[in-house]
Structure 1
Amino acid sequence: MEQPIRIRIEQLEDAKDLELPKYMSKGAAGMDLYAHVFEEIILHPGEIKLIPTGIKIALPDGYEAQIRPRSGLALKYGIGFPNSPGTIDADYRGEIKVIMTNWGQDDFAIRRGDRIAQMVINKVEIADWDLVISLDETERGEGGFGHTGN
């Protein structure tokens, strides 16, 4: 098993009572993130709000953090992220905030310390473009959405 990468994290002064992101099981890919709110926030059906987490991170070059919805919140309450997954770049140093939306039918309450999202750390490849006159042919060709019938 590979050694985990070390990531520097800063907890905002008024968020020191919140847990740091953590894996909830041995095989989990994502760490839970916690709501850094001071009073209950109600997310009404159809509404979108930006929820802070109280942390900043410094990812090593060549890595990103993806912010993803929690499956339990999606299934039980219809809570998701309109930009899922959100990407935290290696050079971003601001507070991590989560864009949450309520696709459910009932109001959803967000309280201080609630687990609101997952953060997955990934390696990224940096690409350079090779401009060509035309691309090689494939069996699929330019067949797009639904071209296989399903």
Structure 2
Amino acid sequence: MFNAFEVRIKRLPGNEDIPLPQKMSQLASGFDLYAAVTEPVTLEPGARALIPTGFALAMPDELEAQIRPRSGLAFKHGITSLNSPGTIDADYRGEVKVLLINHGQEPFIIERKERIAQMVFQLVPQIRLTEVEELDDTVRGAGGFGHTGTK
């Protein structure tokens, strides 16, 4: 068994009709997020919009929430989230919003209560950066983009 973390969620005023984030299957890793737009938003091809979700979070210091695209929206309509995954830090208390972009060929209308993204919680390790004069050598060395393959 693994640890369960308590994440507190606050529904923001005017969003009593918006479902709280929820998993759509027992073993899903992500919680679906719903659009809390006050009126439909038309996302033209190539356009982007910041979509409210109607809630804010308070989570333990060792967690972050990642906002990721919904595969169905991406496949069927070309709708995905920019800055993916988006990070919600443990000390952020504002409304969770999702930055969507339309990579499709047709305008896409975002309606109130529409599932627009998913939220996955991840552990954030405590890291101590140490400045050094030299780094250990590896076989790869400084080989960058495309270095490990031929295509």
Q: Which band: TM-score by shorter chain?
A: over 0.9
- Provide the TM-score with structure 2 as the length reference: 0.96
What SS does the corresponding residue of 2:82 show, helix, strand or coil? coil
Structure 2 matches for 1:105-144, cutoff 5 A? 105-144=105-144
Q: Which residue of 2 aligns with 1:103?
A: 103
Q: Does 1:51 align with 2:51?
A: yes
Distance across 1 between alignment mates of 2:141 and 2:110:
47
Distance in 1 of aligned mates of 2:45 and 2:25: 31
Paired amino acid for 1:119: M
Q: Which residue of 1 aligns with 2:147?
A: 147
Q: Which moved more, 1:64-73 or 1:127-136?
A: 127-136
> What is the CA–CA distance in structure 1 between the aligned matches of 2:3 and 2:129, rounded to whole Å?
33
1:18, distance to aligned residue in structure 2 (A):
1.1
Sequence identity percentage = 55
Amino acid paired to 2:92: Y
Distance in 2 (CA, whole Å) between partners of 1:62 and 1:105 is: 40
Deviation at 1:3, TM superposition (A): 4.4
Equivalent in the alignment of 1:9: 9
Q: Distance in 2 between matches of 1:82 and 1:15?
A: 24
Deviation sequence 1:56-108 (CA, Å, 0-9, x none): 00011111000000000000000012211000000000000000000000010
Q: Distance in 2 between matches of 1:82 and 1:34?
A: 17
For the aligned residues, what is the CA RMSD? 0.9
Letter in 1 for 2:18: L
Distance (whole Å) between structure 1 residues aligned to residue 51 and residue 137 of structure 2: 46
The question of whether the paired residues in 1 share the 8 Å contact of 2:81 and 2:117 is answered with no
Distance of 2:111 and 2:23 partners within structure 1: 20
Structure 2 residues not aligned, in runs of 5+: none
* Counterparts of 1:48 and 1:127, CA distance in 2: 34
CA distance in 1, matches of 2:54, 2:100: 16
Residues matched between the structures, number: 150
* Residue in structure 2 matched with residue 77 of structure 1 by the alignment: 77
TM-score (norm 1): 0.97
Match of 1:71, as an amino acid? S
Aligned residue type for 2:74: A
Distance 1:3 1:145 in 2: 37
Structure 1 unaligned regions, length at least 5: none
Q: Which residue identity is paired with 1:114? A: E
